[in-house]
Structure formats: structure tokens, C-alpha cells
Amino acid sequence: MADVLVIGSLNADLVVRVARFPAPGETIQGGDLATLPGGKGANQAVAAARQGVSVAMLGRVGNDNFGDLLLDNLKSNHVDTSLVRRDAAATGTAMIIVDQHGQNSIVLSPGANGKVSPADVEPASLPDVKLVLFQLEIPLETVLRAAAAAKKNGVRIMLNPAPARALPEELIAGSDFLLPNETELNLLTGQPVKDVASAEGAARALLAKGAQTVIVTLGANGALLVTKDEAKHIPAFKVQVVDTTAAGDAFIGGFASALLRGDELEQAVRYANACGALATTKFGAQPSLPNKEEVERLLRK
Ligand code: RIB
């Protein structure tokens, strides 16, 4: 039996490094094409599994080579894939360019991710887990049904509202843990988020809507933990950035694993910061996700 069920996307990431992002209408030359396992759902599943918790993934891939790549990588990271269905649609893909500063720009083609349906997440079909983890790269109606099913089963809900979009109040209210970045927080609340103080104000607006704990990821600025009792800014670890792709996913998987091991919230956010920082030091999404030993080494420094 798994501790965490991730309900979300699996993408083949088609990645090219560039010196700078092209302007509209401009053609520029990049480096070699890399085809790597990605997708926010699958990344978070692998991120948590590499920290030693047992993880199951629910989603869809196509009957194609990209589907094989994604399933193979999940399995080699000990993620249970029995709830990943193969669909007639193509496997989801992400076209990613990464610039010389490690920043990225991503275009998604949802493919089979767009076919994950409410029928896939009926309460009876969900395994008995301690935590369900969602993002927003599958249809929103499926996320809503799955969150309702998790609530019905008495399971804690962790939501990473990415990519940014407006959400029904019931989803925010039902979230035990809500983990937006600054852009997502701004979109969810309509409040400008430009520093730690404004992030705290916006996070409090989500608490007022019913979320229990809000953790805002702030990139190189670390993370902000906000509950009704506390607001705590936890700084980032300083590392040499190669590629920021999946840093947020590493943070979320790491945070989930630390919570399940029994860490207090602040300690779990510090652990997650270490996971996120290490993921930026390597190229690609799933290939960059750190294991437990690497995280513990950074924490000891
Ligand atoms: O969060 C990073 C991920 O976003 C990439 O792996 C890409 O697949 C997109 O889903």
C-alpha cells in the first residue's frame, strides 16, 4: 500500500538549451534535443519516491514510445504505476527551452493527460493512502471529483495549483496544503505578489477561503509558510543553478515526504527547500530530482 497517491500529468519533455529566449517571429539556434521524463504529476511522484516514501501514480499515457519512457522511469524509481492507463491519445508532451541562466519557457500539449476523467477517480477506485497530491495539468473536473473522493475517504489533500489558473472556491477550501508559486498566488487571489510581505497577505486570503496551510514557493528567495497561527519565511539554499525545470516539483515531493516522516511544518519546508535547490543544479526534470542522501548532505552543510 502506498503512502502518497499522485493524481496528475505525465509528459515527455522535449528540451533544447538556448543562449536566450527568441523574440516573437524570430528563429534562433539551440543545442541538442533531449527527450526526458517529465510532467508535474510524474515529477512530484518521483521526487517523493526518491526521498523514500511509497508512492502510487494515477494518470494516462499513450500507447507510444513516450508512454514507455514515462512508465519505465516511474517503475525504476519504485513508483506504483498500476493506476496509469494507456490511452489511444498521444502521450502528453512539453516543449521546453532553457536559457543560459537556467530559466525555462514551456508549452504543453496535454494529449492523454487531457483524457484523465472523473470516472478514473471514483472513491472506490482510489487506493487507501495518507495523502493525495494534485496539480492542474489534467482536466479540472477530474481534480474536483478526485478531491471530493479523497475528502470522502478522509485523506489529506495537497494541491499544487500549477499551471496557474482560477479555481473554484471548493477546491481551495478543501485543501489541507496549498502550494502555489508567486504567479499562481497572484492569479488565485487577485492580489499583487512582489515580496514576502505581499505573499503573506495573499496567502492569508487563501486561508480565509478555507485552505489549512499555504506554502508559497519563492524561487531563489526560498518559501513562505503561512497558517492561521504563524507566518515564517524560510530562506533558500544557495547553489549553482543549471536548470530550474521541476525545482517546484522537487520541493513539493520533498515536502510531502518530510510530512509523512513526521517532520513539523517548518522543518518540512526546510527539507523541501533543499530538494528544490538540488534539482536546479542538474539539467532536466526527473533526471534532476535528488535522492535522500544528497538532500541530507546539503542539510548538514
Ligand atoms: O514542472 C516542470 C514540468 O512542467 C515539466 O516536466 C513539464 O513536463 C511541465 O509539465
Give per-residue pLDDT as tens, 127-154.
Answer: 999 999 999 999 999 999 999 999 999 9
Residue nearest to ligand 1 atom 6, measured at CA: 38
Residue 27 lies in a domain: no
Q: Which three cell numbers stand for residue 180?
A: 502555489
Angle in degrees, CA 230, 188, 207, rounded to 5: 25
Q: Which three cell numbers stand for residue 242?
A: 543549471
d(CA 269, CA 251): 8
| Active-site amino acid positions | 249
Residue 28 lies in a domain: no
Mean pLDDT of 80-100: 98
> Cα(5) to centroid of ligand 1, in Å?
18
Task: Report the largest interatomic distance among the alpha carbons of the chain, rounded to a whole angstrom.
Answer: 52
Contact 283, 40 (CB under 8 A): no
Mean pLDDT of 84-106: 98
Residue 226 lies in a domain: yes
Residue nearest to ligand 1 atom 2, measured at CA: 246
CATH code for the domain of 71:
3.40.1190.20
Its domain, for residue 273, covers 4-9+39-89+113-300
Residue 1's pLDDT is: 81
Residue 89's pLDDT is: 98
User: Domains in the chain: how many in total?
Assistant: 1
Residue 127's pLDDT is: 92
Verify whether ligand 1 is closer than 6 Å to residue 38 (CB atom).
yes
- Is 229 exposed, middle or buried (CB count within 10 Å of its CB: 0-12, 13-18, 19+)? exposed
The fraction of the chain above a pLDDT of 90, given in percent, is 97
**Chain segment 259-292, per-residue pLDDT in tens:** 999 999 999 999 999 999 999 999 999 999 999 9
* SS3 of residue 224 by DSSP: strand
Residue 180 lies in a domain: yes
Buried b (16+ CB within 10 A) or exposed e, 46-73: bbbbbbebbbbbbbbbbebebbebbbeb
Residue nearest to ligand 1 atom 7, measured at CA: 39
CB atoms closer than 10 angstroms to residue 128: 10
Residue 101 lies in a domain: no
* Cell 517571429 sits on residue: 25
Verify whether ligand 1 is closer than 6 Å to residue 246 (CB atom).
yes
> Cα(4) to centroid of ligand 1, in Å?
20
Residue 44 lies in a domain: yes
Distance of CA 82 to the CA centre of its chain: 20
Ligand 1 atom with minimal separation from the 43 CA: 6
d(CA 209, CA 231): 17
Residue 206 lies in a domain: yes
Residue 223 lies in a domain: yes
> Cα(208) to centroid of ligand 1, in Å?
30
Residue nearest to ligand 1 atom 8, measured at CA: 39
Verify whether ligand 1 is closer than 6 Å to residue 275 (CB atom).
no
Q: Is pLDDT at 123 greater than 90 in this prediction?
A: no
Ligand 1 atom with minimal separation from the 42 CA: 6
Mean pLDDT of 43-50: 98
